[in-house]
Structure 1
Amino acid sequence: MLNPVTETISIIIPVLNEAHQLSKILHILQQALDVEIIVIDGGSQDQTLEIAKRAGVKIIQSPIGRAHQMNAGVADATGDILLFLHADTRLPRDFDLTIRDTLSQSTVIAGAFRLKIDAPGWKLRVIEWGVNARSRYLQMPYGDQAIFLKTTTFQALGGFPNLPIMEDFELVRQLKRQGRIAIASTAVITSGRRWQKLGAVRTTLINQCVILAYLLGVSPDRVAQWYRSGMKRLRK
């Protein structure tokens, strides 16, 4: 096993029109030790690419879709460890040390962080509690919790499945068969914009219906279509 201190972390960030959010997270990432930052753009029309260029990070163009974008990022990554980060999610201080320490445990196959939502309200605190309980006891973190794992582990699984939705859910299901998924004691802070736009209850209900449909065997393409149409109706 490599010495955890010397393992390089490749931070994979899929983006699409995330200029405002991306500018918030890059300066935190660049303070970490032995990391490479890869921004994979799915066709942004705002200042996303300009911000990434000014930060001096690696930029890749890819067809839109998180699975496509993240797999494209990994194909160009050189790190021993992969960290998949949504552009609207901020990592905690010393996240790099936490990741290396977590993956140095022999029984751990992958990890993620606890979730904190960057918005006020008791309903969101309840959602946070539910997410963190699910992650800890069921070992089922989702993509907005910054999933991380060894590059060799990811490659052995064949990368993210080519799905239009639920790619993180399916990856975690595969990882659970290989070993323990550890949840760090520190939390990422994710934007509350989804819950604020649609309401905490409706957003959570939509998410759970999507998961249920997927588990019942509904086509991922159909599930993605339902999800997008449902979100559009609620925004009106």
Structure 2
Amino acid sequence: MPNKPQTLSIIIPVLNEAPHIGNLLTYLSKNSSPHLISEIICVDGGSTDNTSAIAKKHGARVILSERGRAVQMNLGAKHAQGSVLYFLHADTFPPKHFDQIILKATEKGHKAGCFRMKFDTKNRFLGFFAWFSRINHILCRGGDQSLFVQQALFNQLGGFNETYKIYEDTEFISRVYRHDQFMVLPHYVVTSARKYHEVGWFRLQFHFAMIHLKNFFGAGPEELHRYYNKNILT
């Protein structure tokens, strides 16, 4: 019997993303193949704007959730029908034909991976750090690069650790690295530099590096969250 064709479930955690979500969903529709995508799920963590209404208008399935990206993404995965899960931020745009690229990679045996990353700015400081996203090492990973993972592997690893209020994507990816081969695809997502505009280029990058370092030396999710709240939260 022939194997069932693989399909993609796109999972987007959202919170007050009304200015961005419509543009992303329009882009996804124009740059993918409908027969390869089971659904687009927007998991809303309690938006007070019209994020959910805009997402529904653009054909996405909306699921209401408690706030927290790990909780939201796990809930989206629970409802997903596709054999491959693709976790995407609301301000990150994947490359054209991203669905074909991902599914070709999984058909070749790559169970999880991401794309390289660029920022939507010509800032050389950010461009320097984005360059490292091509390196296949856990220290170079982050949620803005997006993440694809076969649903079977996601379930086997227990999904995202919901005790992490931040750093949940890197923590999960670190378990993928320990378990299986992780693939960095040679195409680029383009992600917003809005947080760098809000916090400051150097300041934000410094504190992200400190969070990586703290995690490396054994800091737990609560300590990482406290550091984030004190130094980054705006």
Deviation at 1:48, TM superposition (A): 0.6
Deviation at 1:138, TM superposition (A): 5.1
Please say if residues 138 and 174 of structure 2, whose CA atoms lie closer than 8 Å, have aligned partners that are also in contact.
Answer: no
- Cα gap change, 1:195/1:3 in structure 2, threshold over 3 Å: closer, same or farther? farther
2:217 and 2:139 map into 1 onto residues whose CA distance is 20
Runs (5+) with no aligned partner, structure 1: none
Residue 83 in structure 1 maps to residue 82 in structure 2: no
Q: Secondary structure at the match of 2:130?
A: helix
> Which piece of structure 1 moves more, 121-130 or 78-87?
121-130
Residue 111 (structure 2) aligned to one of 90, 109, 112: 109
Deviation at 1:140, TM superposition (A): 4.8
Deviation at 1:3, TM superposition (A): 5.6
Match of 1:191 in 2: 192
Over aligned residues, Cα RMSD in angstroms?
A: 1.9
Aligned-partner residue type, residue 224 of structure 1: H
Deviation at 1:211, TM superposition (A): 1.6
Please say if residues 139 and 176 of structure 1, whose CA atoms lie closer than 8 Å, have aligned partners that are also in contact.
Answer: no
Residue 128 in structure 1 maps to residue 127 in structure 2: no
Deviation at 1:44, TM superposition (A): 0.6
Please say if residues 7 and 103 of structure 2, whose CA atoms lie closer than 8 Å, have aligned partners that are also in contact.
Answer: no
Q: Secondary structure at the match of 1:160?
A: coil
Deviation at 1:217, TM superposition (A): 2.2
> Which piece of structure 1 moves more, 14-23 or 25-34?
25-34
Aligned residues: 229
Aligned-partner residue type, residue 157 of structure 2: L
Match of 1:40 in 2: 43
Match of 2:173 in 1: 172
1:3 and 1:129 map into 2 onto residues whose CA distance is 37
Aligned-partner residue type, residue 20 of structure 1: P
Match of 1:16 in 2: 15
Runs (5+) with no aligned partner, structure 2: none
Deviation at 1:46, TM superposition (A): 1.4
Aligned-partner residue type, residue 228 of structure 2: Y
Please say if residues 8 and 85 of structure 2, whose CA atoms lie closer than 8 Å, have aligned partners that are also in contact.
Answer: yes
- Cα gap change, 1:17/1:220 in structure 2, threshold over 3 Å: closer, same or farther? same
Deviation at 1:86, TM superposition (A): 0.5
Q: Secondary structure at the match of 1:161?
A: coil
1:51 and 1:2 map into 2 onto residues whose CA distance is 39
Q: Secondary structure at the match of 1:111?
A: strand
Residue 98 in structure 1 maps to residue 98 in structure 2: no
Residue 76 (structure 2) aligned to one of 70, 73, 77: 73
CA deviations 1:141-161 (Å, max 9, x no partner) are 211111101111101111111
Aligned-partner residue type, residue 18 of structure 2: A
The normalised TM-score by structure 2 is 0.91
CA deviations 1:20-54 (Å, max 9, x no partner) are 11111101222422211000000111121111121
Please say if residues 160 and 171 of structure 1, whose CA atoms lie closer than 8 Å, have aligned partners that are also in contact.
Answer: yes
CA deviations 1:1-31 (Å, max 9, x no partner) are 9768x31100000000011111111012224
2:172 and 2:56 map into 1 onto residues whose CA distance is 30
Please say if residues 118 and 192 of structure 1, whose CA atoms lie closer than 8 Å, have aligned partners that are also in contact.
Answer: yes
CA deviations 1:90-124 (Å, max 9, x no partner) are 11100001001111223x23110000100122111
